[in-house]
Structure 1
Amino acid sequence: MHARLRRHPARLIPALIAAAALMTACGAGADSAKADRSATKVTVTPAAGSKAAALGSRIAVRATGGQLTSVKVKDDKGAEIGGRLAGDGTSWTSDRKVRPQTAYTVRTEAESTDGEKSAATSAFTTERADKVNKLTNTPAGAQTVGTGMPISILFDHPIAEDRRAEIEKALKVTSRPHVEGAWGWVKDYSGKDRIDWRPKEHWPAGTKVSVKGGLAGIDSGTGGWFARDYDFSFTVGADHRAVIDVPSHTLTMYEDGKAVGTVTGSAGSPQDPTRGGVHTVRSKNAAETMDSSTIGHGDEWMLDSKWVTHLTASGTFLHSAPWNKSLGVVNNSHGCFGMTTADAKRVYDFLPVGSTVEVKGTSSTTKTDVGNGLEVWQETWPQWQQRSALK
């Protein structure tokens, strides 16, 4: 009996150890299974590790088995990418589409249905665009312009018809004070695509204007992709305008609606009448050579002029014409309004880029195309609104 009692514990010990080990193993498996059930699965699209994620998509984050508590996305320049979290907390979508050849880092935090918290980081890089579309904005940033100035955006490459609405939506104009206006699509005199924003009426003097173009990541069609956003601002100066009365050979300057001076000159001849309507001063040049070949008159003349104020892109200018001995008497120019050098300087100084010049009493029946300069005032407000891709 005593011998058997001494041997019995020896036989039981391995069994007990094995049983304990089995229970321990079962316990670990249960905890692991519980962890698998309680952990939130977070999926990021484009997929982590992508080296050439497709363009044209937004960044999407989805949680399974829980909710997202934080999503932070940055590009390779450190800029944060905004987005919207769904009401149920299970998905997040970026406000913007991904840009070409850009690296993004997505950091997420989530909480499972069992209250377990987790965090993860995902990174990917987008593909390179075959062609990048850029733009040139007028006015340039920080300029002070006249009260008739439109916002004009000229694109490097063509804009497909079916891409215009999205591009127009991405362009935002704000001003202090608020001014009503609208975007309109224009074919520039150069043949390139353009979109202009004009106020319904002239800007109030002193208006501060800001333009933001959230274009990065938008496909312009055959013209390629936009790779960056745009942000510029300008100020509207004093209300300076001019009116040319062709029959009386005069140009009268107005400030805040009051006449402040009149000069005499010569408008276009009956054969080349000055274009009518309201023109916008698009640029100015203190000295310029007038070349007849640029307006279809061959090599008839090559004359040096000063204080040149440009209206249309096709060659309607205000300028000095010291060679003309009939200033103020006969309208005999080739469409411009010529003046003495002193009067041309006076007009040049008075009219900033963006101010307007109305031509009255001309025999011209040619309607100036909006793209022939900054000719947005050639159309009525209802006509202009029809140019929007969102009409």
Structure 2
Amino acid sequence: MRRRTLVGALLAAAAVPTAAACQSDTGAAAGPTATRSASPTATPPSFTVTPADAAVDVRPDAPVTVSVAHGTLTDVTVTGPDGAPLAGALDAAGTTWTSQGPLAVGSAYAVHAVAQGAPGDAVAHDSTLTTLTPAETAFPAVAPLSGKEVGVGMPIIVTFDSPVADDRRRLVEENLHVTVTPTPVPGSWSWQSDTKVEYRPEQYWPARSAVHLDVDLGSIEVAPGVWGKTRDIDFTIGSAMVSTVDIAAHTLTVTRDGEVLKTIPVTLGQPGHGGKFVTRSGTKVIMSLEASRQMDSETTGIGQDDPNYYNVNVEYAMRVTNSGEFLHAAPWSVSSQGRANVSHGCTGMSTENAKWMFDQSKVGDVVVYTGSDRGIEPGNGFTVWNEAYPQWQQGSALRA
């Protein structure tokens, strides 16, 4: 009996480890604790802003970009000193915003962006940047000035006090905006030199219209290290005064809005003397009006020892060329007016007629001269109408 008891006890003891081994393979290790996986931690949105935070001397023509990783942009606002937001666009993925248009020079900007990451997880970013202050600028002088009323032949003339680089002319032109109301008309800029660009419509300006010029060059580098300026010019076009001078017939015919107002007998430049006094043919534009002007021939190269020297005060002078051609009162030549050409190139008429013409005229009025073999030189006054429009357009950098 004792032997049977011992054997039973041994058998029972042998059975215990076997049960334990089976439990370790299929029991607690395979239960709920082992199958529960930890949730991965969401990566929050991260921003990349160019220019970087606190950047200084930023070029105003450099774009501002805001990009986000691990999220999408829900708001981007870039504001300048005036508080107005900078225009910009978001890409299709919603991860990159890029500014549109230039920044202002010498200005501080604040960047504020918000991105959405995991559900309910929004992250904001704030930074600043400051644009450069130009060491050199090119000021654009403009004719006509704001508030002026001019004639239908007046070109817009922009003259820079520093040269515009050849490879920057196109960009400059793209930022010179001309608006005509109430009826828009086609027109073109044409470069006359590296400091001067002029604008004319295809035909004369529409009478009694308004013209606005937006010189939007404040953020444009017109030459290496030289930046432009911003200006706004508004002027109006008056009545259509277009006169015709027949040099051979010695007459000046004045029209307003297509109606003949008066035909005036005149005298023009005398023949001979190597043709240096012959009045030039071509389309001229009144450049200035002076009630009184001292005319000294020395300013045109005729000295006091020359028999053709003169120094006289004239009334009602209307300049039409840089070289010294005027319409003006010439009471000393009344007997020749309408009959012979005896002047040194100017258009002379009686004092009464000159005063009448002066009172009717304004800067920008057109005077077309015909009848001589001497043509007007390009740039000798406001000579923009002496080229056919397609030829004029060839001077535009936008057509290069």
Aligned to 2:233: 232
CA 1:152–1:92 in 2, change beyond 3 Å: closer, same or farther? farther
- 1:278 lines up with 2:289 in the alignment: no
Q: C-alpha separation between the residues in 2 aligned to 1:81 and 1:318?
A: 53
Aligned to 2:146: 141
How far residue 321 of structure 1 moved from its aligned partner, in angstroms, is 2.1
Retained in 1: the 8 A contact 2:142–2:158?
yes
CA 1:315–1:89 in 2, change beyond 3 Å: closer, same or farther? farther
- 1:306 lines up with 2:307 in the alignment: no
Retained in 2: the 8 A contact 1:70–1:109?
yes
CA 1:266–1:98 in 2, change beyond 3 Å: closer, same or farther? same
Stretches of structure 1 lacking an aligned partner (at least 5 in a row): 1-29
Deviations 1:205-224 (A, max 9, x none): 12222222221211111581
CA 1:363–1:81 in 2, change beyond 3 Å: closer, same or farther? same
CA 1:64–1:158 in 2, change beyond 3 Å: closer, same or farther? same
- 1:362 lines up with 2:372 in the alignment: yes
**Identity of paired residues, percent?**
36
Retained in 1: the 8 A contact 2:113–2:125?
yes
Aligned to 1:381: 389
TM-score computed with the length of structure 2 as normaliser? 0.81
Among residues 191, 194, 198, which one is paired with 1:185 in the alignment? Answer: 191
Partner SS for 2:268 = coil
Retained in 1: the 8 A contact 2:295–2:313?
yes
Retained in 2: the 8 A contact 1:289–1:303?
yes
Aligned to 2:21: none
How far residue 357 of structure 1 moved from its aligned partner, in angstroms, is 0.6
Q: Which amino acid aligns with 1:302?
A: N
Retained in 1: the 8 A contact 2:266–2:347?
yes
Off by >4 Å, runs of 4+ in structure 1 = 77-80
Report which of the two structures shows the higher radius of gyration computed on alpha carbons.
Answer: 2
1:31-50 alignment to 2 at 5 Å?
Answer: 34=42, 37-39=43-45, 41-50=46-55
Retained in 1: the 8 A contact 2:149–2:237?
yes
Partner SS for 1:312 = coil
Deviations 1:283-319 (A, max 9, x none): 2222211121222223422221222212122222211
Q: C-alpha separation between the residues in 1 aligned to 2:384 and 2:71?
A: 55
Aligned to 1:245: 246
How far residue 115 of structure 1 moved from its aligned partner, in angstroms, is 5.0
How far residue 276 of structure 1 moved from its aligned partner, in angstroms, is 1.2
Partner SS for 1:220 = strand
How far residue 93 of structure 1 moved from its aligned partner, in angstroms, is 2.7
Partner SS for 1:390 = helix
Retained in 2: the 8 A contact 1:56–1:217?
yes
Across the aligned residues of Structure 1 and Structure 2, the Cα RMSD in angstroms comes to 2.4
Partner SS for 2:168 = helix
Among residues 95, 100, 115, which one is paired with 1:95 in the alignment? Answer: 100
Among residues 324, 344, 367, which one is paired with 1:334 in the alignment? Answer: 344
How far residue 67 of structure 1 moved from its aligned partner, in angstroms, is 2.9
Partner SS for 1:196 = strand
Q: Which amino acid aligns with 2:262?
A: G
1:95-134 alignment to 2 at 5 Å?
Answer: 95-112=100-117, 114=119, 116-134=121-139
CA 1:222–1:120 in 2, change beyond 3 Å: closer, same or farther? closer
Q: C-alpha separation between the residues in 2 aligned to 1:115 and 1:268?
A: 87
Q: C-alpha separation between the residues in 2 aligned to 1:91 and 1:283?
A: 55
Retained in 1: the 8 A contact 2:44–2:123?
no
Aligned to 2:217: 215
Aligned to 2:203: 201
Q: C-alpha separation between the residues in 2 aligned to 1:232 and 1:80?
A: 25
Q: Which amino acid aligns with 2:315?
A: K
Q: C-alpha separation between the residues in 2 aligned to 1:88 and 1:285?
A: 66
Name which of structure 1's ranges 108-117 and 328-337 shifts more when overlaid on structure 2: 108-117
Q: C-alpha separation between the residues in 2 aligned to 1:318 and 1:80?
A: 54
TM-score computed with the length of structure 1 as normaliser? 0.83
CA 1:379–1:110 in 2, change beyond 3 Å: closer, same or farther? same
Retained in 2: the 8 A contact 1:160–1:223?
no
Q: C-alpha separation between the residues in 1 aligned to 2:216 and 2:89?
A: 17
Q: C-alpha separation between the residues in 2 aligned to 1:292 and 1:121?
A: 69
Q: C-alpha separation between the residues in 2 aligned to 1:87 and 1:285?
A: 63
- 1:259 lines up with 2:265 in the alignment: no
Partner SS for 1:58 = coil
CA 1:53–1:237 in 2, change beyond 3 Å: closer, same or farther? same
Q: C-alpha separation between the residues in 1 aligned to 2:225 and 2:347?
A: 39
Give the aligned length. Answer: 352
How far residue 282 of structure 1 moved from its aligned partner, in angstroms, is 2.1
Deviations 1:196-254 (A, max 9, x none): 1211111221222222222121111158111x422222222111111111112111111
Q: C-alpha separation between the residues in 1 aligned to 2:118 and 2:284?
A: 66
Name which of structure 1's ranges 72-81 and 131-140 shifts more when overlaid on structure 2: 72-81
